[in-house]
């Protein structure tokens, strides 16, 4: 079946259903059952789409049904407050069926925002940009019409390749760069068209760093539009909402402003506050609920310092430094500025430094989210953090230990079992600081330069 015929059939309701069923019968049956159940429990909440009110556009360029269900709830809340919600979607996306259950009828299709002429123009600008870019850093810093196209495209390229960095001059990588940087520029034109035609009052994002989301995010900020990201928190029963401006576009959604931090620091630290902090850690780690959707502490045990040292073969006479790795290809260029061009380069250089320093025990803590993330992406190969050490460093000396993500060690063990924390900008730095562990960062973050971390300004 040619692509043209398949596209044609997908746009005819009866043929669309048949096409989906023939392509994957089990998935289609699951989808239809879920949609029927969703209708049965949510239809009472449906109401007519308002004809007026502030325009609130959800950037929903995915086909992930759990996210669509959540967006239905936020859109309904906005509708109850007088807004007129709409959804930016791709043609053929199944999530539209879920939005319709709640009575939403305003859909903007990204496919309709650009024509062939604009796509060709984007391709030409892409080729010109790649001719000019001489290095990885050049491409990473590339902006098009005020949009950070280079970082959006490179973030997504690392994500789909599951690599920590790429050589932009590698002939095998070049086609991928042309494809995704070209798409990024096309998405810039689409975002510009969205604002020309629909003039939204509010833009809402769950994802906002990868292409195609990043381009709409940046254009919204350039227009001064009320722009909000909503995302998961460390708790199962809470969500984070953060408003952005162009000046704060690299801020982490869990960050607070410097002024708020200074205000909090002026307040006395009471026994009640300490008890609340202790309870948060207890709920998160002892009960295994910390970012539970990522299963970070599943099948993990909190170890005493002695148990941890014995399990890892650490010298009890030495202090212990822990290198907390990032997922090299996950949200790589979203937040802050880094001392190294990539998480991978920081990781390699830091492990090399550890190998040269036998005065300390060193533990390389490969991020436990690897277990969930690789399973979700269908990857069954060796952990990249392990293979990159073998390739670039070789066997580790006895004073450097690698703790793999599936190990049974609960991260809380390190709060009493280690003496130093090294991270680029991970949440772990904020946590370790709560236990008076010195934290050395390698980039700006939601908590750097606030007086309780060590923040070098050069590698």
Dump the DSSP string for 247-286: GGTT--TT---HHHHHHHHHS---HHHHHHHHHHHIIIII
Q: Are strands 239-244 and 226-232 parallel, antiparallel or unpaired?
A: antiparallel
> Tell me, what's the pLDDT at 22?
66
> Tell me, what's the pLDDT at 169?
87
The span from the CA of 396 to the CA of 407, in Å, is 18
> Tell me, what's the pLDDT at 201?
97
> Tell me, what's the pLDDT at 20?
66
The three-state secondary structure class of 25 is helix
> Tell me, what's the pLDDT at 46?
81
> Tell me, what's the pLDDT at 298?
76
Closest by alpha carbon to 374, among 173, 185, 162, 209?
Answer: 162
> Tell me, what's the pLDDT at 297?
76
The three-state secondary structure class of 174 is helix
- CA dist 445 → 68, 126, 259, 369, 425 (Å): 30, 31, 15, 20, 5
> Tell me, what's the pLDDT at 178?
94
Q: pTM above the 0.85 mark?
A: yes
**Residues near 285 by beta carbon (within 8 Å), at least 6 away in sequence:** 297, 302, 410, 411, 412
User: What are the residue ranges in the chain where pLDDT is below 50?
Assistant: 1, 8-9, 12
């Amino acid at each position: 079946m040619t692509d043209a015929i398949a596209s044609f059939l997908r746009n005819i309701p009866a043929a669309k259903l048949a096409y989906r069923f023939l392509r994957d019968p089990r998935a289609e049956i699951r989808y239809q059952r879920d949609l029927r159940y969703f209708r049965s429990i949510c239809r009472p909440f449906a109401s007519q789409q308002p004809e007026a009110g502030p325009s609130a556009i959800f950037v929903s360029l995915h086909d992930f049904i759990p996210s669509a269900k959540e967006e239905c709830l936020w859109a309904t809340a906005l509708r109850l407050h007088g807004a007129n919600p709409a959804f930016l979607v791709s043609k053929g996306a199944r999530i539209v069926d879920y939005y319709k259950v709640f009575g939403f009828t305003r859909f903007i299709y990204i496919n309709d925002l650009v024509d062939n002429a604009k796509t060709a123009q984007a391709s030409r600008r892409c080729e010109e940009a790649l001719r000019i870019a001489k290095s990885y850093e050049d491409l990473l810093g590339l902006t098009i019409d005020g949009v950070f196209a280079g970082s959006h495209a490179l973030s997504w390229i690392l994500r789909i390749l599951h690599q920590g960095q790429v050589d932009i001059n590698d002939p095998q990588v070049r086609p991928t760069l042309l494809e995704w940087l070209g798409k990024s520029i096309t998405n810039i034109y689409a975002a510009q068209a969205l604002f020309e035609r629909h003039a939204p009052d509010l833009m809402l994002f769950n994802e906002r760093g990868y292409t195609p989301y990043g381009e709409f995010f940046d254009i919204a900020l350039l227009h001064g539009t009320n722009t909000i990201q909503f995302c998961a928190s460390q708790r199962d029963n809470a969500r984070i909402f953060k408003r952005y401006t162009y000046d704060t576009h690299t801020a982490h959604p869990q960050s607070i402003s410097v002024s708020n931090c200074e205000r909090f620091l002026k307040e006395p630290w009471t026994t009640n506050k300490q008890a609340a902090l202790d309870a948060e850690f207890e709920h998160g780690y002892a009960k295994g609920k910390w970012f539970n959707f990522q299963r970070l502490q599943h099948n993990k045990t909190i170890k005493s310092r002695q148990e941890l040292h014995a399990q890892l073969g650490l010298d009890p006479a030495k202090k212990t430094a822990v290198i907390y790795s990032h997922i090299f290809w996950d949200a790589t260029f979203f937040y802050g500025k880094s001392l190294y061009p990539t998480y991978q380069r920081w990781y390699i250089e830091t492990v090399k430094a550890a190998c040269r320093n036998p005065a300390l025990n060193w533990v390389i803590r490969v991020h436990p989210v690897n277990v969930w993330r690789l399973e979700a992406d269908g990857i069954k190969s060796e952990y990249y953090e392990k293979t990159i050490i073998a390739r670039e460093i070789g066997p580790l000396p006895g004073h450097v230990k690698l703790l793999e993500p599936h190990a049974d060690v609960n991260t809380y063990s390190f709060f009493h079992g280690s003496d130093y924390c090294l991270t680029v900008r991970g949440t772990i730095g904020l946590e370790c600081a709560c236990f008076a562990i010195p934290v050395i960062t390698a980039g700006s973050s939601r908590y750097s330069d606030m007086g309780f971390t060590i923040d070098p300004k050069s590698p």
